[in-house]
Every structure is written in C-alpha cells, then in structure tokens.
Structure 1
C-alpha cells in the first residue's frame, strides 16, 4: 500500500501485487464458504422445524391429550424450538462477517491497484459500522433480547 497525498503521515507497507491478489482471493473464498455454511444452517434448521412440527402434531392428538408424560414431552419440544434461535444469530453473524471480508477484499484491491470511478466510496459502504451484530449470549424461553 502506498500512502495517499492527502494522508502523508500514515505509515505505509509495501506488498506485491501478487500477494495482494492472493489475500483478496483467500478473502473471497472464505466469503463463499460462509455463504455455503449459511445455506447448510438454513437447510438443517428447516428440517428440524419440520420434524418438531410433526412430533408436536402427533402429541396434540385428542387420544393422547390427557397424558402428563406427553404434555412434558410437548413442553420439551417447545423449548427445543426456542433453542433454534441459534440459527438466526448464526446467520446474522455469518452475514456480518461476509460483509467485513468483502469490504476488506475490495479495499485491498483499491489500495494496491488504485481506485476506478469511485469504487472506494462504494466499498466503504460495505463495511459494517458495528463490530458484532449478535450480542446475545444465551436464550431462555419467554425472553427476548433485541440486537
């Protein structure tokens, strides 16, 4: 990276174009892997919700409605569905991380290869302002934490 004329006091590190391209490729590969991970999480969560729905429907049949053990089991299923909030938090974190990586890759390209037609301004918008979009560390049934 070279220091720009408007910020002469910033330290600069010289890296080769090949190294910058390799780092950018690695960042974009990680972004792709994160997108695949998000798809896998979505698929697994959809399947889990379907299975929980099937189990709950079986347990709400009128023939088994009075059984206390089955009522306990239905409550356990409700709690398990609450635990699936993990999916929402995980996909938010994956999305945030992907935006950070994409912003880094584009900034690296702009710094080493130069801007063209205001790309740097567009790339700066990709970088999230908050360091971590998911601040909740635990979940309990009935509690809601907005983040």
Structure 2
C-alpha cells in the first residue's frame, strides 16, 4: 500500500495530547480533520492514497514512540468549516493540507521497519532518523 508517514509533535496540543484531542472530535461527530503544516501533499499522492481499499496515513510522534494509523476518507487543501479540534482554531490557516479521519489505530511497534521510503528505497526507520522532512511517501507491507 502506498501512503504517507507524517511527523507530529505535542508543541501546540492540549494536555491530553494530539491523538486524544482528535479522538474526542471523532467521538462527538464521527470524524475529525487532521491538519498538516507546511506544503500540502501533491494531488497525485492524495489520489493514490484515496484509491486504496482502506485509505490511511501513518502518524509518527517526533521524539517519542507513538505511532498511529489514521484511517481517512478525504484529503483537501481548503480549511474545513467544522470538525477540527478547538486547539487548532487560532492556527488553522497555517495548515495547507487536511485529512478527514474517521478512526485512529495504534500501529505495531515495528511498523517503521515495514515501511520503505519511495524516494530512497530505505526503511522508514533509518530514513526518519537522518531527515528533517515533515513527511515521507512510503510503501507499507503488512507482515
């Protein structure tokens, strides 16, 4: 499966953390928009992700062990009008790409060893250590 891996941090998150804050919105309305700072992913990559049988992206906690699959049903560049966590409100215009998430799933501990970065053909485990890139286009193979 071809998808992306996005780094995330807790810099702006509320005390409960990024994933928990997003999960609260899912629990309330059935989905949440997860924003990506910086440049959006390309339309081509977005299309490839959404064509998967179960579209999802991998979220990697920078500097920690948290790894989550975000199951998605949409990708857009326009800022959503609803379904975003309240802590995003003051900075939502900084996000240039939005993923409509309907479920989070904790990824296996070795998930990064199952992902190959498309551009370098290196395992995500090593590529993410030596790169400052906020996201990677990956090929994921389940064991």
Normalised by the length of structure 1, the TM-score is 0.21
**Structure with a larger share of its residues in strand:** 2
**Structure with a larger share of its residues in helix:** 1
